[in-house]
């Protein structure tokens, strides 16, 4: 079995829950031993769908029994189309396993991993994950993104205790799935820019180890989009490593900040509102990819703006009252559950007038240095779009069943998705929101000119 790269090893050592990872060609051959070591005396139950059963599930079952692990009959979701990320499936699964002394082995990508993770969380048991595509960073992260009451929510549950990733399986997944994973990784660039802002303002200090785990390797992970499109083994290994390490950085930090900034706020908004593309729920990584281009186009204008002057001019500006905020959210959000979530997050952003004044003074004081830090890390929207396009990931709103106009409107909605301080909050605090968003969408701006 190939040994783990130094970066993956160091990421794993800081993970709070995950204890063991196998990553390499033929990785599945290590499944039985890993399961037996981690869960001595326990039975295994494979959770898969028809596709992932064929891709890896059957082999996984064979490897487990070959290592002397007792197995229950696999739970295979027999759907003709794409398996729905329905939290009720996980609840039913958990109820059925309540009286069986077994551990779930989730074989699949986003949906199956989330179903297995959430069912295990309900049962209060650890689980093992066998990723079948390099499509998102949720394999090694806590929380499951599932439809609950018809809408996508992040339901709390622990990450897997062990991950067995076979590169032969992952490289055989549909090429567009690797493009989604690349989109999820691309977002880490905006996440870093946003964290630098929150750090400089004293809102949310950078946690050096999780930050470095992602950012020290990100350029390497994003360096070979064509190789990813072609399914080259080295490129796919870099991609899945990056996705796993991002999840471990989340585990080490305790929340998703190392892997998620304003770009994920757009993605979560679209997911919560049930965006579909070609009749299927939009994939997470494709949402993050488009949102990353969207935020980089905005950053281009932010980095050129007179932020110091704007912060000073805004020093005494009032913030909305709670009733004004409520009225604004009524106008911005039509779906009740999204509006209520936005209300909780938006209300948390209303701060004491004195604190707001101090924050604006601090923006004016730190911006010259902060601007240099951000410029050093910045990549243009056009450059990022070219990389994403090389992997086949959407870079334009029309490819995601959206118009340029709705993307512009979403700028005013995404800021309410999370209370976490990002560049969107800096725009609000400096009163630059409308000006810079309009510039991005103006006839001379990125969206009206990018091919």
Cβ closer to Zn ion: 184 or 237?
A: 184
Quick one: three-class SS letters along 173-188? CCHHHHHHHHHHHHHH
Smallest separation (angstroms) from Zn ion to the CB of 183: 9
Q: What residues pair up with 127 in beta bridges, in sequence order?
A: 104
Cβ closer to Zn ion: 166 or 184?
A: 184
Cβ closer to Zn ion: 57 or 242?
A: 242
| Residue 421: CA count within 13 A, CB half-sphere | 18
Interface of this chain with Zn ion, residues 174 to 193, rule: CB under 5 A:
184
Smallest separation (angstroms) from Zn ion to the CB of 246: 8
Smallest separation (angstroms) from Zn ion to the CB of 136: 6
- Rounded to whole angstroms, the Cα distance separating 244 from 12 reads 9
Token representation of residue 425: 């909050």
Cβ closer to Zn ion: 49 or 184?
A: 184
Cβ closer to Zn ion: 176 or 326?
A: 176
Cβ closer to Zn ion: 148 or 184?
A: 184
Smallest separation (angstroms) from Zn ion to the CB of 358: 33
Interface of this chain with Zn ion, residues 291 to 320, rule: CB under 5 A:
none
Smallest separation (angstroms) from Zn ion to the CB of 360: 31
Which residue's CB atom is positioned nearest to Zn ion? 184
Position 271 contacts Zn ion (CB under 5 A): no
Smallest separation (angstroms) from Zn ion to the CB of 291: 10
| Residue 301: CA count within 13 A, CB half-sphere | 22
Interface of this chain with Zn ion, residues 327 to 386, rule: CB under 5 A:
none
Measure Cα distances from 53 to 47, 58, 131 in Å: 8, 6, 12
Smallest separation (angstroms) from Zn ion to the CB of 286: 11
Smallest separation (angstroms) from Zn ion to the CB of 261: 11
Cβ closer to Zn ion: 132 or 145?
A: 145
Smallest separation (angstroms) from Zn ion to the CB of 260: 6
Cβ closer to Zn ion: 423 or 430?
A: 423
- Rounded to whole angstroms, the Cα distance separating 288 from 388 reads 11
Q: Residues 342, 347, 349, 350: what is their CA dihedral angle, to the nearest 10 degrees?
A: 150
Smallest separation (angstroms) from Zn ion to the CB of 263: 9
Q: What residues pair up with 47 in beta bridges, in sequence order?
A: 75, 106
Q: What residues pair up with 77 in beta bridges, in sequence order?
A: 49
Smallest separation (angstroms) from Zn ion to the CB of 35: 27
Tell me the torsion sign for CA atoms 438, 439, 444, 448. negative
- Rounded to whole angstroms, the Cα distance separating 225 from 207 reads 29
User: Among candidates 280, 267, 257, 31, which has minimal Cα distance to 176?
Assistant: 280
Cβ closer to Zn ion: 184 or 271?
A: 184
Count of residues in contact with Zn ion, rule CB under 5 A: 1
Cβ closer to Zn ion: 246 or 395?
A: 246
Cβ closer to Zn ion: 46 or 134?
A: 134
* Non-local CB neighbours of 340 within 8 Å, separated by 6+ positions: none
Residues making contact with Zn ion (CB under 5 A): 184
């Amino acid at each position: 079995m190939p040994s783990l790269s130094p970066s993956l090893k160091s990421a794993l050592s800081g993970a709070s829950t995950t204890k063991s990872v196998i990553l390499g060609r033929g990785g599945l051959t290590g499944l039985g031993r890993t399961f037996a070591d981690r869960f001595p005396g326990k039975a295994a139950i494979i959770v898969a769908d028809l596709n992932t059963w064929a891709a890896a599930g059957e082999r996984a079952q064979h490897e487990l029994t070959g290592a002397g692990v007792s197995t229950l009959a696999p739970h295979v979701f027999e759907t003709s189309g794409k398996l729905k990320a329905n939290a009720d499936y996980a609840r039913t699964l958990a109820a059925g396993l309540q009286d069986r002394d077994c551990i779930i082995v989730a074989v699949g990508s986003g949906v199956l991993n989330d179903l297995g993770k959430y069912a295990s969380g309900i049962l209060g048991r650890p689980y093992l994950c066998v990723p079948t595509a390099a499509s998102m960073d949720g394999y090694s992260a806590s929380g499951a993104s599932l439809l609950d009451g018809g809408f996508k929510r992040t339901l709390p549950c622990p990450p897997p205790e062990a991950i067995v990733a076979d590169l032969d399986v992952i490289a055989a997944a549909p090429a567009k799935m690797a493009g989604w994973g690349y989109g999820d990784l691309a977002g880490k660039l905006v996440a870093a820019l946003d964290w630098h802002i929150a750090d400089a303002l004293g809102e949310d200090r950078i946690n050096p180890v999780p930050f470095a785990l992602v950012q020290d390797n990100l350029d390497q992970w994003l360096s070979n989009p064509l190789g990813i499109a072609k399914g080259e083994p080295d490129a796919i290994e870099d991609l899945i490593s990056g996705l796993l390490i991002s999840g471990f950085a989340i585990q080490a930090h305790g929340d998703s900040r190392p892997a998620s900034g304003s770009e994920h706020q757009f993605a979560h908004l679209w997911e919560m509102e049930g965006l579909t593309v070609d009749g299927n729920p939009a994939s997470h990584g494709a949402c993050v990819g488009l949102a990353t281009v969207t935020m980089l186009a905005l950053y281009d204008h932010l980095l050129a703006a007179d932020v110091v002057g704007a912060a000073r001019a805004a020093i005494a500006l009032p913030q909305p009252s709670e009733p004004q905020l409520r009225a604004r959210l009524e106008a911005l959000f039509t779906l009740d559950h999204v509006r209520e979530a936005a209300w909780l997050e938006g209300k948390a952003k209303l701060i004491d007038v004195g604190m707001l004044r101090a924050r604006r003074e601090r923006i004016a004081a730190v911006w010259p240095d902060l601007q240099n830090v951000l410029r050093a890390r910045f990549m243009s929207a056009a450059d990022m779009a070219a990389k994403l396009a090389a992997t086949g990931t959407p870079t334009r709103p029309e490819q995601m069943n959206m118009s340029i106009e709705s993307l512009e409107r979403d700028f005013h909605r995404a800021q309410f998705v999370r209370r976490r301080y990002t560049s969107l909050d800096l725009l609000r605090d400096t009163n630059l929101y409308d000006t810079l968003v309009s510039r991005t969408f103006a006839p001379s701006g990125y969206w009206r000119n990018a091919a």
